Amino acid sequence: MESTLVSLLHGFSVAFEPINLWYAFIGCLIGTLVGVLPGIGPLSGISILLPITFGLNATQAVIMLAGIYYGSQYGGSTTSILMRIPGEASSVMTCVDGYAMAQRGRAGSALCIAAVGSFIAGTFGIVMLTVVAPPLATLALKFGPPEYTALLTLGLIFLAYMSSSSLIRTLLMACTGLMLGMIGIDNMTGHFRYSFDLVELGDGIGIVPVAVGLFGLGEILSTPSKNVTGKVMAPKLRELLPTTQEWREAAMPIARGSVLGFIIGIIPGSAHIISSFLSYALEKKLSKHPEQFGHGAVAGVAGPESANNSASTGAFVPMLALGIPTGPITAVLIGALMVHGVSAGPQLVTEHPDVFWGFVASMYVGNLMLLLLNLPLVGMFVSVLRIPYAYLYPLIIMFCIIGVYEVSHSIVDVWIMLIMGVFGYGLRKFGFDPAPLVLGLVIAPLFEQSLRQSLIMSNGDYLIFFSRPIALGLMLVCIALLAMSALSFFLKRNDWRTKLAVAEAGET
């Protein structure tokens, strides 16, 4: 422990070198921009800037690129809250309640809560990374396909809590998402499924084009048919800050989101995407006022925004401690280190202490920078809403198209986004919530792959999901949740969802 402190202090001495501070700042700034611009995610941001880092040394390179990664998690909430456009896949949930808050004139408050929540979660993640990285990383390796399957089963059950519309509508959307997730090459047999002879569909339908299309474009397309009076929201400075009541509502979700996000973040694979979805569902389940979710619940912003930030930090644990990438972004970071002859892995701490501790310390500094960068920007971002729609929306559509194209340089993705935009417009008109669809799309390929991998491992024996401790634990949680729902169903207690369905039926 003491040696950790000494090493960390040494790390700070590296991180505080002006040149390193500068690269951390550049990384955070670019990350914020990448996050704010719809479509352009951290992966494309890092990929574009990767060649530039070849001229830097390893420490500077990793400090800057990592800054882009965690910085983008801060910025991702901005467009979600202001315009209902998810900057990244992980900020889809913020579109729901964040945008609802903005419509009630609480945009500034939502942005502040998202920034502070991100800061707390990010810092929590780094403290955990500093203290418990090696043992946790070993634990993360235990998370194989059966555990993944169990976690995603839990995700599927949580799908039902995702939406404020009726259960049938939610499940309909979720099933659509799951079916869209079936598109692409079948990893186990090599068949192209539903690809219509387009190689571009081989990797499946991307989450970003779908999310940007359904939420952002759908919203924009539906604006002309609404009664727009031309009056734009112009919040006063006092209204930019969250009220005491809002802080109180945000506190626990931030704490829970931080822990949940970190745990999910260290799992190798793409699980970190579902951290914000799971956090949202968890908050809704725990909330005393679940009916507020979807209509601007503070917890619905605070939880997911904290979760995605601490998940992005958690993803560094297996990367730094074991040298294994948890996803495409950490894979690029490992590549960036390798270019400088530094190989990530167990020997990183001993062979290159400057890189390791300098990097860890720079994340403490970077998170503080991001908070200081983002809070003053809240006022400016909110002012964006003052721009008349006639000028703002064409600009947004342009950014969406550029951003979505940039993800994998594919014009097919742009078409998917445009089609999803029209589809999203339809959904909005008929009162369907697109969030479960996006989660379905995220879960389907992961779930299918891990399920089939598990069954290969066990030679077709389903007991594999109940014979490994972590998988068993998660499966028991799933069973308990289903049993509770079944119980309340049989007791004919009208829970809030049925009430809501009745109310909805009455409305139409």
Partner 1 sequence: MDRRSFVIGTTASAAALATGSAFAQETYPTRTITIINAFPPGGVNDLVTRPVAASLEQIFKHPVVVDTKAGAGGQIGAQVASAAKPDGYSLLSHNNGISGYAEVDKLFGRAPKTTRADFIPLARLVADPVVVLVNDQQPYKTLKEFVDDAKKKPDTIVYSSGGLYGATHIPVVLFEKAVGGLKLRHLPTNGGGPAITSVLGNNAQLTVQTVSASLSHVKSGKLRALAILADQRSKALPDVPTMKELGYDLEYYLWVGLFAPKGTPANIVSTLVDAIGKAANTDQFKTAITNIGLDVGYQNAADFAKFWEIDAKRSDEAVLAIGKQG
φ/ψ of residue 184, rounded to 5: 125, 180
Of the candidate residues 46, 136, 317, 365, the single one contacting partner 1 (CB under 8 A): 46
CB of 213 to partner 1, least distance (A): 19
Among 132, 182, 259, 324, binds partner 1 (CB under 8 A): 324
Q: How far apart are CA 451 and CA 453, in angstroms?
A: 5
Angle between helices 272-286 and 92-103 (to 10 degrees): 50
CB of 317 to partner 1, least distance (A): 13
Residues 6 or more apart whose CB falls under 8 angstroms from that of 141 comprise 268, 318, 322
DSSP state of 161: T
Q: How far is the CB of 207 from partner 1 (least distance, A)?
A: 14
Give the number of other CB atoms < 10 A from CB of residue 385: 17
| In the complex, least distance from residue 329 CB atom to partner 1, rounded to whole angstroms | 9
* Near partner 1 in 264-283, by CB under 8 A: 268-269
Tokens for 352, please give them. Answer: 């290159």
Q: Which is nearer to partner 1, 231 or 409 (CB)?
A: 409
Q: How far is the CB of 67 from partner 1 (least distance, A)?
A: 17
Is 333 a binding residue for partner 1 by CB under 8 A? The answer is: yes
Question: Which residue number, 453 or 485, has a Cβ lying nearer to partner 1?
Answer: 453
Shortest distance (Å) from residue 323 CB to partner 1? 5
- Only segment of 26-34, 91-99, 182-190, 235-243 that touches partner 1 (CB under 8 A): 182-190
The binding track of 401-440 with respect to partner 1, each residue x by CB under 8 A or -, is: -------xxx------------------------------
Least separation in angstroms between residue 379's CB and partner 1 is 36
To the nearest whole angstrom, how small is the minimum distance from the Cβ of residue 145 to partner 1?
6
The answer to whether the Cα torsion of 226, 227, 233, 239 is positive or negative is: negative
Instruction: Tell which one of 12, 13, 233, 345 touches partner 1 (CB under 8 A).
Output: 345
| Amino acid at position 126, single letter | I
* Identity of the residue, 317 or 427, whose beta carbon is nearer to partner 1 in the bound complex: 317
What tokens does 94 get?
């913020």
Task: Show contacts with partner 1 in window 138-177 (CB under 8 A).
Answer: 141-145
Short-list 214, 168, 212, 219, CA closest to 423: 214
Q: Is 294 in the site for partner 1 (CB under 8 A)?
A: no
Helix (H/G/I), strand (E/B), else coil: 314: helix
**Which span sits near partner 1 by CB under 8 A: 44-52, 116-124, 372-380, 415-423?**
44-52
The region of 17-25, 79-87, 318-326, 396-404 touching partner 1 under the rule CB under 8 A is: 318-326
Contacts of residue 314, Cβ cutoff 8 Å, sequence gap at least 6: 125, 128, 129, 261, 262, 263, 264, 265, 266, 272
Instruction: Decide the pairing of beta strands 192-193 and 184-185.
Output: antiparallel
- Enumerate the β-bridge partners of residue 184: 193
SS (H, E, C) 17-67: CHHHHHHHHHHHHHHHHHHHCCCCCHHHHHHHHHHHHHHCCHHHHHHHHHH
Which of 20, 32, 47, 287 touches partner 1 by CB under 8 A?
47
Smallest separation (angstroms) from partner 1 to the CB of 61: 12
Span 459-488, contacts to partner 1 by CB under 8 A: 459
Which is nearer to partner 1, 96 or 407 (by Cβ)?
Answer: 407
- Shortest spacing between CB 347 and partner 1, in angstroms: 7
> Does 335 engage in binding with partner 1 (CB under 8 A)?
yes
CA 40, CA 30: separation in Å to the nearest integer?
11
**Tokens of residue 273, six digits:** 């995407």
Nearest to residue 124, comparing CAs of 363, 357, 359? 363
Q: Give the integer Cα–Cα distance in Å for 404 and 41.
A: 9
In this structure, are residues 256 and 279 in contact, taking their beta carbons and an 8 Å threshold?
yes
Residue ranges binding partner 1 (CB under 8 A): 46-47, 50-51, 54, 141-145, 185-192, 199-200, 202-203, 268-269, 318, 322-325, 328, 331-336, 338-341, 343-347, 408-410, 449, 453, 456-457, 459
